[in-house]
Amino acid sequence: MKILVALKQVPARDSLFKVDAAGRWIDTADLSYEINEPDAYALESGLRLKEQHGGEVVALCAGPEGAASAIREALAKGADRAIHIQDDNLLAYDSLSLGRMLAAAARAEAPDLILTGLQSDDIGSGQTGVILAEVLGLPHATIIMDIEVHDGALRVKRELEDGWFQHVALPRPAVLTVQSGSSKLRYATLMGIKKAKTKEIKVVSAPELGVAPEAGAVLERLSLPERTKRTVLLEGTPEQQAAALVEKLKHEVRAL
């Protein structure tokens, strides 16, 4: 079974973020990077399916040249090979054009299963996996907690609200977006890191795939959340003050 896992490299969560001079994105000069955490769970799901049923796991990543470090991490964890769609201006692509780009690379591989994370930690639109399925014309399911393969078909467990789950049967090939926390992530071993150096990374460009950036949605301005402190004095009798405090805790702080 050939499993394609779409990965994205994002700034590390513990980075100190600052808005760039243009005010449209974060300053990337001093940032460290890592695999997008939801995508790491998709990779883990793919590796577990490979261990159970055989086949290969192919990592697919669109990003600048520096994204090769995230790809090497995926290879070190157990992916067999990788495809790097190298583009230094990924912000020029909205979710639709990015989905088309990934679909063009995936179509050439003809995988049995495509896995993505639920959303990215930087943009967080949660649309790429669903758009990828639509462009490829494949069945898909989201918020996946578990994947089983039976007689060439898929049975998946989806997380719903309020502790409810849904079990869905799907044919193959299909696209699944995996929920974070669905499994325990593995670490890259020393042997895995050594083997990753010899594994294939195929580098292609968006023009080679026949995809051009289409900014249907444009980020005009980015700002950090303001942190302010404000003191409110409650007046009246003790009973009135207590009632006012309860109202604020309910409707403003939402702690009750």
Domain coordinates in residue numbering, the chain: 2-209, 226-256
Distance separating alpha carbons of residues 235 and 253, to the nearest angstrom: 19
Under 8 Å CB-to-CB from 66, ≥6 apart: which residues?
9, 33
Distances (CA, A) of 144 to 45, 60, 103, 155, 220: 10, 19, 20, 10, 33
Average pLDDT score over residue span 148-175: 91
Sorted by sequence, the CB contacts under 8 Å of residue 186 that are 6+ apart come out as 44, 47, 77, 78
- Distance of alpha carbon 111 from alpha carbon 132, whole angstroms: 13
Identify the CATH assignment for 2-209 out of 3.40.50.620, 1.20.1330.10, 3.90.1640.30, 1.10.3720.10. 3.40.50.620
42-68 average pLDDT score = 94
- Place 122 in a pLDDT band, splitting at 50, 70 and 90: confident
All residues at 6 or more sequence positions from 123 whose CB lies less than 8 Å from its CB, including other chains: none
Given pLDDT bands bounded at 50, 70 and 90, which one contains residue 216? low
- Of 177, 157, 174, residue with least CA distance to 165: 157
Higher pLDDT, 5 or 21: 5
CA–chain centroid gap for 117, Å, is 4
Supply the DSSP symbol for 185: P
Of the two residues 29 and 3, the one the predictor is more confident about is 3
76 has pLDDT over 90:
yes
Burial call 44-62: b when 16+ CB within 10 Å, e when fewer: bbbbbbbeeeebebbbbbb
Instruction: Report how far apart, in Å, the C-alpha atoms of 125 and of each of 27, 31, 195, 207 are.
Output: 20, 22, 34, 24
Cis bond upstream, residue 173 (ω within 30): yes
Closest to 168 in 3D by CA, of 177, 137, 127: 177
What pLDDT is stored for residue 13 in this prediction? 80
User: What is the percent of the chain where pLDDT is above 70?
Assistant: 99
Residue-wise pLDDT for 77-104, tens only, equals 999 999 999 988 777 778 888 899 999 9
Secondary structure of residue 91 in the 3-state scheme: helix
Do residues 47 and 21 lie in contact, with contact meaning Cβ atoms separated by under 8 Å? no
**Other beta carbons less than 10 A from residue 97's beta carbon:** 18
The answer to whether 210 and 190 are in contact (CB under 8 A) is no
Place of tokens 């808005």: 19
Q: How confident is the model at residue 215 (pLDDT cuts 50, 70, 90)?
A: low
pLDDT at 230 over 80: no
Cα→Cα distances 245→162, 229, 230, 231, Å: 29, 17, 15, 13
pTM as predicted = 0.82
Residue 226 pLDDT exceeds 70? yes
Output the DSSP codes for 202-225: EEE-HHHHT-----SS------PP
Compute the average pLDDT of residues 61-83: 94
